[in-house]
């Protein structure tokens, strides 16, 4: 077994490994390639692959969260193919990643673990009980369309100026539950990481417009016949009017028309409004992961 830095040519294998490990996560090879090749320099990301018999069997990445005003907040992701567990691959990845984080000024790292991964994370000094729920729906089986809201027009996001989408995303993200506030989103970084990312399908993503302003939106990423909700948000002045339901319903209907048969999402257990929207849309829970933190 060899651990080496990930390169863009690993994208197909990384996407397949992720799918084999988490059936409910959606990341196309193009998205994996972009994730490996394009990272903001300030994040100081280290991305590693574990290779056994010429095959990529493990992924590990760590870097700083550049979208929060809190200094030194880091994220760690590790996963190993189910058939290659118990051989020290995850531990070797964790050691390399923690050494890296120690050298770039990390103060605290966050990771998410499946039930079997929690004990592993605790061995490396992580602790916590934050719950992240994963859920899926067949977009061909939606409830009845909600009534159109007065004065609101639905458009696909390919019709937007990116500044309009950024304004809504940045404001809505402030209220997403998490360990660190998402309160320092630089426009140019957002353009590169979100707007120009190959997975974002702007023709399936929908914005509910109040005049020129995005009042609510549902952003969709795709991989073949599966979709991932990249973000749903409403700006505070327009909350509680059914606009997130309307925008996401329309986006999912478009997904169904485009041949998508499974749409997936993740929600923090504390996100009552988003869980209510998704429950109404018919999402069923498929997994829960635990969010844990480690100090440096
Ligand atoms: C989640 C969010 C998109 C909802 O937007 P919205 O336009 O207010 O949503 P809607 O009006 O369509 O529906 C809101 C639903 O949440 C329910 N709700 C509101 N507050 C709630 C709470 N504290 N607990 C449980 N349900 C709640 C409402 O009753 C409504 O459901 P109902 O129509 O079945 O009664 C918005 O709050 C937001 O932008 N939050 C910050 C960003 C975020 O967390 N996005 C999701 C990331 S996973």
For ligand 1, atom 48: residue with the closest CA: 267
Strand partners, 3: 50
Q: Is-contact 222 257, C-beta < 8 A?
A: no
Q: Check if 245 has its Cβ closer than 6 Å to any atom of ligand 1.
A: yes
Q: Check if 272 has its Cβ closer than 6 Å to any atom of ligand 1.
A: yes
Give the domain-ending residue among 111, 132, 153: 132
**224 falls within a domain:** yes
**296 falls within a domain:** no
| Judgement on whether residues 183 and 118 belong to the same structural domain of the protein | no
**265 falls within a domain:** yes
| Judgement on whether residues 9 and 50 belong to the same structural domain of the protein | yes
Its domain, for residue 35, covers 2-132
For ligand 1, atom 33: residue with the closest CA: 242
Q: Check if 174 has its Cβ closer than 6 Å to any atom of ligand 1.
A: no
Cα distance between residue 180 and residue 233, in whole Å = 18
One pLDDT digit (tens) per residue for the chain, 296 residues: 999 999 999 999 999 999 999 999 999 999 999 999 999 999 999 999 999 999 999 999 999 999 999 999 999 999 999 999 999 999 999 999 999 999 999 999 999 999 989 999 999 999 999 999 999 999 999 999 999 899 999 999 999 999 999 999 999 999 999 999 999 999 999 999 999 999 999 999 999 999 999 999 999 999 999 999 999 999 999 999 999 999 999 999 999 999 999 999 999 999 999 999 999 999 999 999 999 999 99
Burial 104-131 (b: 16+ CB within 10 A, else e): bebebbbbbbeeebbebbeebebebebe
**154 falls within a domain:** yes
Strand partners, 275: none
| Judgement on whether residues 128 and 141 belong to the same structural domain of the protein | no
| Judgement on whether residues 165 and 275 belong to the same structural domain of the protein | yes
**Helix or strand or coil: residue 109?**
strand
Give the domain-ending residue among 113, 132, 151: 132
DSSP designation for 147: P
What angle do helix axes 243-257 and 272-281 make, rounded to 10 degrees?
40
Residue 155: burial class (beta carbons within 10 Å; 0-12, 13-18, 19+): middle
For a substitution probing ligand 1, which of 173, 273, 278 has the most ligand atoms within 8 Å of its CB? 273
Q: Give the total number of structural domains in the chain.
A: 2
| Judgement on whether residues 90 and 222 belong to the same structural domain of the protein | no
| Judgement on whether residues 244 and 281 belong to the same structural domain of the protein | yes
**Helix or strand or coil: residue 73?**
strand
Q: Check if 143 has its Cβ closer than 6 Å to any atom of ligand 1.
A: no
Q: Check if 216 has its Cβ closer than 6 Å to any atom of ligand 1.
A: yes
CA of 233 to the centre of ligand 1 (A): 9
CA of 240 to the centre of ligand 1 (A): 7
Q: Is-contact 17 81, C-beta < 8 A?
A: yes
Give the domain-ending residue among 102, 132, 162: 132
Q: Check if 269 has its Cβ closer than 6 Å to any atom of ligand 1.
A: no
Counting every residue, how long is the chain?
296
- Which atom in ligand 1 lies closest to the alpha carbon of residue 266? 48
| Judgement on whether residues 141 and 268 belong to the same structural domain of the protein | yes
CATH number at residue 152: 3.40.630.30
| Judgement on whether residues 128 and 140 belong to the same structural domain of the protein | no
| Judgement on whether residues 127 and 147 belong to the same structural domain of the protein | no
Q: Check if 234 has its Cβ closer than 6 Å to any atom of ligand 1.
A: yes
| Judgement on whether residues 143 and 162 belong to the same structural domain of the protein | yes
CA of 274 to the centre of ligand 1 (A): 5
CA of 195 to the centre of ligand 1 (A): 24
- The two tokens of residue 114 are 């499946």
CA of 140 to the centre of ligand 1 (A): 23
CA of 31 to the centre of ligand 1 (A): 28
């Amino acid at each position: 077994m060899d651990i080496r830095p990930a390169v863009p040519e690993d994208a197909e294998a990384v996407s397949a490994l992720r799918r084999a490990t988490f059936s409910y996560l959606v990341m196309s090879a193009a998205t994996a390639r972009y994730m490996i090749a394009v990272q903001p320099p300030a994040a100081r990301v280290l991305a590693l692959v574990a290779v056994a018999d010429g095959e990529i069997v493990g992924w590990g990445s760590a870097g700083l969260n550049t979208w929060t005003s809190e200094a030194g907040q880091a994220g760690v992701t590790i996963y190993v193919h189910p058939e290659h567990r118990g051989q020290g691959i995850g531990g070797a990845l964790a050691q390399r990643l923690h050494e890296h984080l120690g050298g770039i000024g990390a103060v605290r790292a966050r990771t998410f673990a499946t039930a079997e991964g929690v004990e592993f994370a605790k061995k490396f000094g992580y602790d916590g009980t934050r719950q992240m729920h994963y859920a899926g729906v067949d977009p061909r089986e939606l409830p009845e369309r909600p009534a159109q809201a007065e004065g609101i027009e639905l458009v696909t996001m390919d019709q937007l100026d990116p500044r309009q989408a950024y304004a809504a995303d940045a404001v809505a993200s402030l209220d997403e539950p998490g360990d660190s506030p998402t309160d320092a989103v630089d426009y140019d970084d957002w353009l590169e990481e979100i707007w120009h990312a190959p997975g974002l399908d702007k023709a399936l993503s929908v914005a509910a417009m109040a005049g020129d302003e995005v009042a609510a939106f549902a952003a969709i990423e795709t991989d073949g016949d599966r979709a991932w909700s990249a973000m749903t948000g409403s700006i505070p002045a327009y909350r509680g009017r059914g606009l997130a339901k309307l925008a996401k319903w329309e986006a999912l209907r478009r997904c169904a028309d485009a041949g998508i048969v499974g749409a997936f999402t993740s929600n923090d257990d504390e996100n009552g409004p988003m869980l209510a929207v998704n429950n109404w849309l018919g999402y069923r829970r498929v997994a829960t992961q635990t969010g844990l933190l480690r100090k440096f």
